[in-house]
Every structure is written in structure tokens, then in C-alpha cells.
Amino acid sequence: MKEIIVENYNPEWKNEYKKAKLFYERLFTGIDLEIVHVGSTSVEGLCAKPILDIDIIIGNNHERDIVIKLLKSVGYSHIGNMGIEGREAFEYSEENPNIRWMKHNLYVCMKGNDNLKNHLLLQKHLRNDKEAVEKYSLLKYELAKIYPNDIDSYVEGKTELITQFLKAEGMDTKVLHRIKSINKKDSEKDPSHSSEYAVPLHFRDKPATCWGVSFKKLKGCKMTKKIFWENPYLKSIETRIASVNGSNVTVEETIFFAFSGGQESDTGTIAGYPVIEAAKFGKEIKYTLPGDHNLKEGESITMKIDWERRYKLMRLHFAAELILELMYKKLKGSDKIGAHIAKDKARIDFRWNESIAPFLPEITSEVESIVQKNLEINSTFSDEINEKRFWEVVGFAKVPCGGTHLKRTGEVGKLKLKRKNIGKCKERIVIYLGSES
């Protein structure tokens, strides 16, 4: 069983869905149907497994039969309703050349179907309630830690909270009971029929894909080596193009960090072309270039990053790490509910039942002390195969993190911290570099 990976919300998911929707719209020209992005990847700010959930909504059996035939014509396999009336499921080969977007679950749903209502109501609730998004995200992260290789227990563990959300939206009691029954781990029914799509059985043991192609199976292509971990101070590197798919490319080695853990992506160029976007797909990183680039697989190129921006990100990132650890030590029971590292400032959001303003001077003083001591920062793998890393300052903390890290705490420099209340029991610390606040 593959490890359950829950990631922070990634804006790239919305773009990947747009690619899929455009493909389906062209495929179903002339048919009266609706294409909807559902599931956790459709809710901004919500953490999720990096798998799109897409419903194609039709109005009658005739339309259903036409849609099934068209999907088969482009390489999808129809696997039936999997025990849920009014919903037809599909799977696809990872080598299907027609599918050029990220891993996804695809269903054709009859309009008015309970399963469809379920997904749309849950989406509505989460999009309108930020507190629900935070609560659901925290639960997912916790369940992924407790059941890293048990998708059935992971699904069952989410059910109580999901049904609370659905009840608040007026979902019928009988339907809620049926959801709980289906999602029970020991149920004879397929647990992938949960109220929010879990990974269906036919996808559970397949490797992550990008553009519908498994990178592990690309001829002559190895997974990208992340030089930004080995040496985050490199400003340029000579490497080769590993794969090309339209405007998207991968490289054999990279110094170009892609958005992860709240840290923004680098900016820069590949072979002189500006990188429009850098996005993680599993262990691979996809770089989007202008559509008129003429790069070829195997071509030698120079990759460059905006070093001034990268260094600010590294300094702010580690400042945020220090503050987060100090907050955990000072405020026992506090929870981090959000973070973002940009080039001009960083922020950390906490759940705490009162103002953290009284603690800020002490936190500031302790951070300054650690910075002034110029302590060594060690950063390496805890599990190289699965690309799990950590940073450590001996005597202070050892923390899992896959970002780009400084060599010594003194590089952080002077900081200015500001406190902001962002809602009931929600506190924010905004971090500025000393000369830019």
C-alpha cells in the first residue's frame, strides 16, 4: 500500500483542472452536461492528497451512454458504478497520450444523484467556512500520521467530521447514516465510496503521475536530483532536459525550488526562457516555460535563479522556523494553522484562545539571541528514498522540513515581528527582515 501523502493547498491544482476541463469540453461538444471540480483539491486553502476529483454531470441515460463511449474513444476504461447507483467510474493508463494533466479520479454522475449532492454540499460548506477548512486540514494531517499506509482507516477517520459538515448543510439523516456505513473500515463495500473522494481501489497502488505519464517509466529519464538541498547557495547550474511535454519540461538536476511547505517557488530561467511556474508532482518537479520554447529532450542547458529573492526566502523561512519552535515551547497546546514565506515577508498563523501580543517581546528577544550566536544549521535526509528531510540546531530543535536552509543562524539577520488577530482564537505573526519592514 502506498503511503498517504497530504499536501498543503497548491494553486497548480486549479490550473491542472482547467486543462482537464478544456479537454472534456472539446470531447463532449454538443452534449448538454456540466463538468465540475469537486473534492479537497477544489477548495482553496484546504490540504489534500494531490489527486483531482472530477464529476461529469449528465441528465439522462442516453447522455450517459454517449459520454461513456466518447471517454472510451480517448483511452479511458469504464469500470461500472462500483456499487453506487447513478455514478459511473473510469480509470486510465498512465501512458495515455491524451491525458496531459495530473493524477485524477473521473466519474460520470446522474443529475440529482445522492452521491453528487454529497460532494457539492461538502464543497459548498468548506468554501464558505474557513474554520471548517482549518479543522478538516488538521484532521487530515493527523490521520495521515496515524495511518500512513492504511487508506481505509484514513477514510473512516474523516467520516464523523464530514457528516457534521453535511448535516449543517441540511443533508438527509438517512443519507448521512448510509455514508457512515459505507465508510466503515470493516464494511464489505468499497471504502473509496466515501463522501469526499478517497483514492479509489484501482488507483491506490499506482505511482504518482504528471500529465498522465509516470515519470519513472519515461525512457532514459531519472527522477530530478534536487541540488537545492545539497547546495542551496548555487545561483546557476549546467544540466540537461529530461522530458518535454508542450510548454512543460523536467530536468535531470535542479537548483530551482518549487512551492512547498508554504515557501514560494524560486524565479529564474531555463536556457534563457523565464520559468512561468514550478510545481511539484510527487517527487518530480515540472517547470512551465513560454509556449514558443524549442527545447528538446537531452539538450544541455543552463538554469539560473534570482539569487537575491532566494536568499530572502531562505532567511525568512528559517526565521519562521525559529519563531514557530519558540511559540510551541511558550504556548503549550498551540497549533499552527497556516504559514506562507514570500520574498518581502513571512507569516505564521496559530490557533490560540487569547492575544499572543504579551509574548511577542520575549519571543523577539530569544530569536535575536539565537541569531546572534550564529549557530550551525544542519540539514539532511531522515529518509532519502522518500525524500524526507529535517533541519537541526543542536541544543535547540530538530524539525522535519524540505525547504532550502541557511548554513548558520546568524544569516537570518535583524527581524521585526508584528502580531495580528485574524479571527476568533486565531493569531498571526508577520515577520519582516530588519531593513524591509
User: Given this model, what pLDDT does residue 235 score?
Assistant: 97
Q: Looking at residue 219, what is its pLDDT?
A: 35
**Would you place residue 370 in the very low, low, confident or very high pLDDT band (cuts 50, 70, 90)?**
very high
Classify residue 78 as left (phi > 0), alpha (psi -120 to 50) or beta. Answer: beta
**Which DSSP string do the residues of 162-181 spell out, in sequence order?**
HHHHHHHTT--HHHHHHHHH
Q: Are the CB atoms for 55 and 119 separated by under 8 Å?
A: yes
| Same domain flag for 332 and 234 | no
Q: Are 41 and 53 in contact (CB under 8 A)?
A: yes
Instruction: For residue 2, tell me if it sits in a domain.
Output: no
Percentage of residues in the chain having pLDDT higher than 70: 89
Largest CA distance in the chain: 73
Model pTM? 0.55
The per-residue pLDDT for 185 is: 59
pLDDT tens for 183-195 read 765 544 443 334 3
**R_g of the chain, CA atoms, integer Å:** 23
| pLDDT on residue 423 | 83
Per-residue pLDDT tens for 312-356? 999 999 999 999 999 998 888 888 878 889 999 999 988 888 999
Shared domain for 291 and 393, answered yes or no, is no
Mark whether 235 and 196 lie in a shared domain.
Answer: no
Q: Burial of 156 by CB count in 10 Å (0-12 exposed, 13-18 middle, 19+ buried)?
A: buried
What is the per-residue pLDDT for 222?
56
Choose between 264 and 262: higher pLDDT.
264
Give the H or E element holding residue 242: strand 236-245
Rounded average pLDDT over 354-377: 95
What pLDDT is attached to residue 202? 31
Q: Give percent above pLDDT 90 in the chain.
A: 54
378-383 vs 388-393, strand pairing mode = antiparallel
18: containing domain: 12-203
What are the cell numbers at 339? 504559514
Beta carbons within 10 angstroms of residue 368's beta carbon: 13
Rounded to whole angstroms, the Cα distance separating 228 from 387 reads 13
pLDDT of residue 435: 67
Mean local confidence (pLDDT), 179-184: 74
The reported pLDDT for the residue numbered 426 is 87
pLDDT of residue 55: 94
Residue 93's H or E segment, with its range, is: none
Q: Is the pLDDT of residue 261 over 80?
A: no
Beta-bridge partner residues of 346: 341, 431
Listed residues 252, 272, 305: the one ending a domain: 305
> Residue 216: pLDDT above 60?
no
Same domain, 372 and 417: yes
- pLDDT value at residue 195: 38
Percentage helix, strand, coil, to 5, in the chain? 35, 30, 35
Residue 63 shares a structural domain with residue 182: yes
Q: How far is CA 247 from CA 255, 270, 313, 374, in A?
A: 19, 12, 27, 43
pLDDT at 309 over 50: yes
Average pLDDT rounded to a whole number, residues 85-106: 88
Q: Is residue 339 part of a domain?
A: yes
* CATH number of the structural domain spanning residue 76: 3.30.460.10
What 3 state SS string does 337-382 have? EEEEECCCCEEEEEECCCCCHHHHHHHHHHHHHHHHCCCECEEEEE
In a domain, residue 231? The reply is: yes
Helix (H) and strand (E) counts in the chain: 9, 21
> What is the pLDDT averaged over residues 280-286?
79
Q: How far apart are CA 301 and CA 282, in angstroms?
A: 24
Q: What is the mean pLDDT of the chain?
A: 85
The pLDDT confidence band at residue 153, using thresholds 50, 70 and 90, is confident
What one-letter code names the amino acid at 375? L
Of 152 and 237, more confident: 237
Q: What is the mean pLDDT of residues 122-147?
A: 87
The answer to whether position 211 is within a domain reads: no
Does residue 208 form part of some domain?
no
Nearest to residue 392, comparing CAs of 404, 403, 380?
Answer: 380
State the pLDDT at residue 436: 59
> Is residue 4 in some structural domain?
no
pLDDT beyond 60 at 49: yes
d(CA 14, CA 236): 30
